[in-house]
Amino acid sequence: MKKPIFLAITIIAGILIANPAFSQKANKDDNNTGETGTITDSRDGKTYKTVKIGEQWWMAENLAYDVGDGSWAYNSDESNVKTYGRLYRWKAAKKACPAGWHLPTDDEWKQMEKAIGMGQIEAEDTGWRGTNEGTKLKATSGWIDNGNGTDDYGFSGLPGGYRYPGGSFITMGSTGVWWSATVYATSTALSRYLRCDRTTIFRYYTYEEYGFSVRCVKD
């Protein structure tokens, strides 16, 4: 019985030595999440909560790194960044994640959605899909109109709103939108929406010039 325990400790130690900025703990909290941890972005020193959903490690907060051109605070108000992170054009989002992490592909989003209960056929569909998977991803506070979620897996999705290509900002408090790294057609990429009045998850393509939130997934 001692050999498997020793092997597990050795593996964990190897992970921490290889990536000292990433730490994890293998316990479940009151929200029924799996393993949790943190990642510190060496570029600006910001530390993010992380969570393991299925076999993937996700940031449990929106990315806040300022890449300059192509990233914004909502309404150009830096005080919004602490809660909601920044909004990014798609090309900026593709290069915004810290070393060892990346913008999730559409397939990686689908992998996570299936891990929280969505069926394969639903995951492949577009529009509003699933049953209550959106509720499972939404944070337990911060959504207007009684739209809070149950945050069953520790994703803690927040309604950071989005930015139109023309520069206006809308829907903070009611809608959260996240890029995928997957191109759909010319000048468009697939994304995910959560909304205060929906329990499901919206999958569709959007023009790359919109400003959406970013969640990074571990390489």
Whole-prediction pTM value? 0.86
Does 47 fall in a domain?
A: no
DSSP strands (E only) in the chain? 22-25, 36-40, 47-53, 56-59, 71-72, 87-88, 101-102, 127-129, 162-163, 169-170, 175-185, 188-195, 201-207, 217-218
Q: Please count the structural domains in the chain.
A: 1
Does 204 fall in a domain?
A: yes
Does 115 fall in a domain?
A: yes
Determine the 3-state secondary structure of 159 from DSSP: coil
Does 33 fall in a domain?
A: no
Query: Could you list the pLDDT tens digit for every one of the 219 residues in the chain?
Result: 434 433 333 333 343 333 435 555 444 444 455 799 999 999 999 999 999 999 999 999 999 999 999 999 999 999 999 999 999 999 999 999 999 999 999 999 999 999 999 999 999 999 999 999 999 999 999 999 999 999 999 999 999 999 999 999 999 999 999 999 999 999 999 999 999 999 999 999 999 999 999 999 999
Does 82 fall in a domain?
A: yes
Domain that holds residue 98: 55-218
Does 206 fall in a domain?
A: yes
Does 157 fall in a domain?
A: yes
Determine the 3-state secondary structure of 183 from DSSP: strand
For 118, residues 6+ apart whose C-beta sits below 8 A from its C-beta are: 110, 129, 130, 133, 201
Does 16 fall in a domain?
A: no
Please state whether beta strands 201-207 and 127-129 pair in parallel, antiparallel, or not at all (unpaired).
antiparallel
